[in-house]
Chains A and B, each alone.
Chain A
Amino acid sequence: MTLGFDTARWTGLEGLVLVAAAVGVFTREPAPLLLAGLGVVFLGYIRIAAVPDVNLAVERELSDTTPDADDDVEVTLTVTNEGTRTLFDLRVVDGVPPALAVSGDPARLGTALRPGATATTTYTVTAIRGEHTWGETVVVARDPSGAVERRETIHTETTMRCEPELAATADLPLRGLTSKYAGRVETDVSGAGLEFASIREYRHGDPIRRIDWNRRARTGELATVQFREERAATVVLVVDTRSDAHVAPESDAETAVERSVDAASIAFSALLDSGDRVGVAGFGPNECWLEPSSGADHRARARRLFATHPAFAPTPPKEAFFPAIAVKRLRRRLSSDAQVIFCSPLTDDYAVSVARRLEAYGHAVTVVSPDPTVTRTIGARLARLERDLRLRELRRSGIRVVDWRAEPLAVALARAESGWSQ
């Protein structure tokens, strides 16, 4: 994009020159004519101004292209004048990715550049999860008098990728819905396991190890001890990524989507470690689906997905979203034995209805809800109240809810767990 136009900053100078000349003529004083003469010379200088030709090379260098989350990354922007003329007035604004925050010096540069000369500016961005691509650098060049300017955009490909390690910092208790594989979730099914469940009459073929020999010695009857079976679960982590979920208590605080993705990645890692099969889905305009599975490959896939999938981008999506279709599609994908962990700030009633519908279809739902509300204004307090009511409604319909305030997820889980009926 190139635009050359008049800045109109000297408009009216001609009028002043003519007024001065007229005053000189009427009063027959030479001094106003002198002023007019000076004005004419200056007008000539303004009139010969040509729109500067911008021929710039822009280079961008990152101190680290794959930083960890919250690392400070230094960006060095180098601008070289490759044209044949001096650029007297050059203003450069770098296209910092919208999700990154610039701290310290701004990502801007103002200077005059001789042909072949180079100007450099360094600024610092704080890395957050995701794949960040720099946008176009906007360049504004003016002629020396500032009468005309040219705007140009220069594209320099730069990408920073920040993929945080998946760390299991909190253990997420699951509900009773399980698959047929052995695992960690205690079920009410009697069979082999660790925790005592019941004793029943001996049936032919029961393993000798599970015969209650004490009873046999006491009464002479054969009986079999039963334990609670421990099985693995299939869990799908559903993250609410609708634009409604892109809310934060303050303008520079983490959004609820960010925290939801954090919760999902913690849960993912913890569940995978305990042998469950885990999948990931995004509930938002950008479709995202990772089939439940297990293993190291799966962990790596999920790590990349959480970091770089556009659905989990820290900026709100712009695409249109049809929630009813998305719920249907999600339901089709969930296997019948799949539990759902739904990460959503519950800022509207639709999120509640999604959780309730999934629960009604037999997927045991646990809602992990980062709390984005504040109490500063009456409106904010009302929003908090509404959210509290939604949480209560969910609990009443038998869904487990973790209300995650500004504390580590493990603390929120411990508090929530004490209130759950097993």
Chain B
Amino acid sequence: MVAVSEITRRPTRSGAAIALSAAGLATLALAFTTATAAVGGLVGTLVIAAGLTRGSRRTLDAAGGVFFLALLFAGLGGVGTEALLLAAVASILAWDVAENALSVGEHLGRETDTTRLEIVHAATTLVVLTVGAGVVYAIWAVASGGQPIAAVVLLLVGAIALVAAVRR
């Protein structure tokens, strides 16, 4: 019998590379808002890197939380809406691709060529997020004429209700 080549059940390299690039992009975008947010983005990127090295889903979730807080701080700073939306898109993409790399690694291992799978996944997420950011930005640009905040909140609640009503 020959030596059995065991598969390495760790996050795939291609997925990790995409995720870390996206996290870096998010940090760069956050740097255009406030200093606190930029530091938060940096910490988030490091935590994502740690999660990918250890192959831990919990660490990745923690990284997502750090990015969320950084985005909130950036938002409260009140500068750079475009940069904020870019950072949001990049950080959601980073978490999504990182988690996907983890699950692909568990199913197929590092040795299998999964580049196509992961690029398709990252591309669909990116398209959806870009469209979403575009829609939100357009609403913001139109509605920034001083509508009461209650109207915006009601709009948001309505949208959430609509989304919740969508059945699989």
Contacts and interface: CB of A to CB of B under 8 A. Distances in A.
Interface in B61-107: 61, 68, 71-72, 74-76, 78, 81, 84-85, 88-89, 92, 96, 99-100, 103-104, 107
B75 A29 contact: yes
Given A41-B131, A48-B166, A35 B156 contact: no
A91 B1 contact: no
A252 B168 contact: no
Given A51-B168, A110-B104, A91 B117 contact: yes
Given A50-B168, A109-B112, A126-B2, A40 B160 contact: yes
Contact of B168 (A47, A93, A146): A47
A25 B33 CA distance: 21
Contacts of B167: 47
A20 B133 CA distance: 15
B39 interface: no
Contacts of A109: 108, 112
A346 interface: no
Given A31-B81, A108-B112, A140-B107, A103 B3 contact: yes
B149 A25 contact: yes
Contacts of A35: 71-72, 75, 84, 88
Given A16-B68, A91-B117, A126-B2, A146 B100 contact: yes
A106 B109 contact: yes
A16 B61 CA distance: 12
A102 B168 CA distance: 40
Contact of A93 (B92, B96, B108, B152): B108
Interface in A200-228: none
B125 interface: yes
A37 B136 contact: yes
Interface string A1-30: 000000101001010111111011101111
Contact of A43 (B84, B96, B104, B163): B163
B4 interface: yes
Interface in A238-253: 251-253
Nearest to B92: A42
Contacts of B96: 146
Contacts, number: 183
Interface in B122-168: 124-125, 128-129, 131-133, 135-137, 139-140, 144, 149, 152-153, 156-157, 159-160, 162-164, 166-168
A95 interface: no
A169 B1 CA distance: 20
A263 interface: no
Contacts of B131: 41
A34 B85 contact: yes
Given A40-B156, A108-B7, A45 B108 contact: no
Nearest to B119: A112
A225 to B, nearest CB: 55
Contacts of A34: 75, 81, 84-85, 136-137, 140
Contact of B125 (A40, A145, A251): A145
Interface in A32-77: 32-38, 40-45, 47-51
B141 to A, nearest CB: 11
Nearest to A23: B72
A44 B163 contact: yes
B132 A42 contact: yes
Contacts of B13: none
Contact of A252 (B1, B72, B104, B120): B1
Contact of B124 (A31, A40, A101, A144): A144
A105 interface: yes
A355 interface: no
Contacts of A256: none
Contact of B163 (A47, A91, A146): A47
B114 interface: yes
B120 A38 contact: no
A23 B125 CA distance: 26
Nearest to B143: A30
Most buried by B among A34, A105, A128: A34
Given A25-B153, A89-B120, A128 B84 contact: no
Given A9-B99, A34-B84, A101-B1, A40 B163 contact: yes
B32 to A, nearest CB: 13
A120 to B, nearest CB: 11
B160 A17 contact: yes
B131 to A, nearest CB: 7
A353 interface: no
Contact of B108 (A30, A40, A88, A106): A106
Interface of A: 7, 9, 12, 14, 16-21, 23-25, 27-38, 40-45, 47-51, 88-91, 93, 101-106, 108-112, 121, 126, 128, 140, 144-146, 148, 251-254, 258
Task: List 5 tightest A-B contacts by C-beta distance, closest first.
Answer: A31-B75, A41-B132, A110-B114, A37-B136, A112-B120
Interface of B: 1-5, 7, 61, 68, 71-72, 74-76, 78, 81, 84-85, 88-89, 92, 96, 99-100, 103-104, 107-109, 111-114, 116-117, 120-121, 124-125, 128-129, 131-133, 135-137, 139-140, 144, 149, 152-153, 156-157, 159-160, 162-164, 166-168
7 contacts: A19-B68, A21-B156, A29-B75, A44-B163, A103-B2, A108-B7, A109-B112
